[in-house]
Amino acid sequence: MTAIEQSMQSASHPSRWQRIRGGLSVLFASKVAVIGLMIVLFWVLVAIFAPLLTPYTPTAQDATAQNSAPSAAHILGTDDLGRDIWSRLLYGARVVLVMLPIGEHFWLPLGVAIWGVLLGMIIGTTLGLFGGYLGGWRDESVMRVLDAMMAFPVILLYMIIIAAVGSSATNVVLAIAIVGTPGIARLVRSLTLDIRTRDYIRAAEIRGESKLHIMFIEILPNARGPIIIDAMLRVGYAIFAMGTLGFLGLGLPPPSPDWGSMVSSGRRYILAGSPWAALWPSLAIATLVVGLNLFADGLREESTRYQ
């Protein structure tokens, strides 16, 4: 094989390292995406190394330091029970991004928001692929049920689900997945309706490939870009939903370091001159959601430039 043929083959079939390098070049070409990634990485790292970054546990109480201002002993202050706010923020980030508590002593990797989005992506992607490719009564029946779910206000639907199944980390994951499934399914369906008209889909049908092969091997990989970006945005929405549920008393059960419940309990002391317990978790939710949105928006803008 000549050098020209080798270079042509390399260009048509890039190696894994070339694909990774190409993806990184798209990422670092966007300043917005880099800023968002730095914010997200900050929270991921402090969540992973939480035991090394604070001498306190999130449930340790100090009766002599209730609603105290930031100090050398408590860098972000304490709440009404004397619990260190910095430690509760760190361990709260763990629940959101890094670890899913199952029972009292068992954890799964990845946090509540990520598991909720992953489960919703699996269900929604499957429904969208089947509806978009098969069409007919299958598509109509699935889409009408999902449209009925989307008719409910999002917060109301969250409250109905949590009130029905109870408040726990796994049930919050379930609620996030159920609420997110209709939007994901409609996105994947619209992508499938476009991709199924392409020539390579016709070629696969002529070869006699099964419907499952065409949907998951031919269509899904070619729709992964918008789906991945949508998933990043949905993680931000899930974090905001967790904060809202916690604020309403429907999030993680106490004494879990839930950011939303921290805001809810701390807001009673804002006018009393102790805003710290409500201020810091509010900023945590805002910065993490903004970071995820910046990351996703930057990637979307850069990826559309190369289409």
* Nearest-angstrom CA–CA distance, 258 and 211: 44
User: Considering the domain boundaries, does residue 72 fall inside one?
Assistant: no
User: Considering the domain boundaries, does residue 137 fall inside one?
Assistant: yes
Residue pointed to by tokens 């969208």: 128
Q: What is the pLDDT along the chain (307 residues), one digit of tens a residue?
A: 554 444 444 444 556 565 656 556 666 677 888 899 999 999 999 999 999 998 888 888 888 888 888 888 889 988 888 899 999 999 999 999 988 877 667 787 888 999 999 999 999 999 999 999 988 888 888 889 888 888 888 888 898 888 888 888 888 999 999 999 999 999 999 999 999 989 888 998 888 888 999 999 999 998 888 898 899 889 999 998 998 888 888 888 877 888 998 998 888 888 888 888 899 999 999 999 999 999 888 877 766 654 5
Question: What is the predicted pLDDT for the residue at 82?
Answer: 87
Q: Domain with 284 in it: what CATH number?
A: 1.10.3720.10
**pTM for the complete prediction?**
0.86
Question: What is the predicted pLDDT for the residue at 32?
Answer: 84
User: Considering the domain boundaries, does residue 65 fall inside one?
Assistant: no
User: Considering the domain boundaries, does residue 49 fall inside one?
Assistant: yes
Question: What is the predicted pLDDT for the residue at 167?
Answer: 82
Question: What is the number of alpha carbons within 13 Å of residue 64 lying toward its C-beta?
Answer: 1
User: Considering the domain boundaries, does residue 46 fall inside one?
Assistant: yes
Q: Considering Cα of 69, then 70, then 76, then 82, what sign does the dihedral take?
A: negative
Structure tokens given for 91: 């361990």
Residue 230: give the domain boundaries: 30-55+79-305
Question: What is the predicted pLDDT for the residue at 7?
Answer: 45
Which residues, at least 6 apart from 184, have a Cβ–Cβ distance to it below 8 Å? 120, 121, 123, 124, 125, 128, 227, 230, 234
How many domains does one find in the chain?
A: 1
Structure tokens given for 82: 């004397």
What three-state secondary structure class fits 109? strand
CA separation (Å) from 230 to 223, 234, 262? 11, 6, 29
User: Considering the domain boundaries, does residue 24 fall inside one?
Assistant: no
Question: What is the predicted pLDDT for the residue at 215?
Answer: 92
Question: What is the predicted pLDDT for the residue at 109?
Answer: 84
